Amino acid sequence: MKQLVARGMVTLGLVASLGFGVSAVASAGGLPPLGGTTTTTGATSTALKIYHQELTAYRASRTAIEATFRASINLARSNYQKALLSATTSAQRSAAEQNKVTAIINAASTRSSELIALGNAPTPPAS
């Protein structure tokens, strides 16, 4: 019985020391100042502003590329519908279909080359 009590006390002591040790290590990183603000250097602030400007420009360029692509696709479909209205033979319908597919392929190719030329999105500055 004495051994059981001794083991229980040792186990309780280990658990307590681990609990206090973990909480001490967790709080060792420090807290922000009491005002709740952290100081940033001017270089970090400037780099972040430049990053946001580059990201905004990148998104605007990508949106313009996508809008141009969608407009090209819609134009190809519209031209196809107009061609179908005036087509009287299967050869004319087939030619209209081929023109539509060619226009869509050209639009996709243009979009792809523009996206490649645009490159990857800017990366955020290291903090």
| pTM for this predicted structure | 0.63
* Residue whose tokens read 């519908």: 81
pLDDT higher than 80, residue 82: yes
pLDDT grade for 34, boundaries at 50, 70 and 90: low
Report the alpha-carbon distance of residue 49 to residue 38 in Å, rounded.
18
Residues 87-102: what's their mean pLDDT?
97
Q: Share the mean pLDDT of the chain.
A: 81
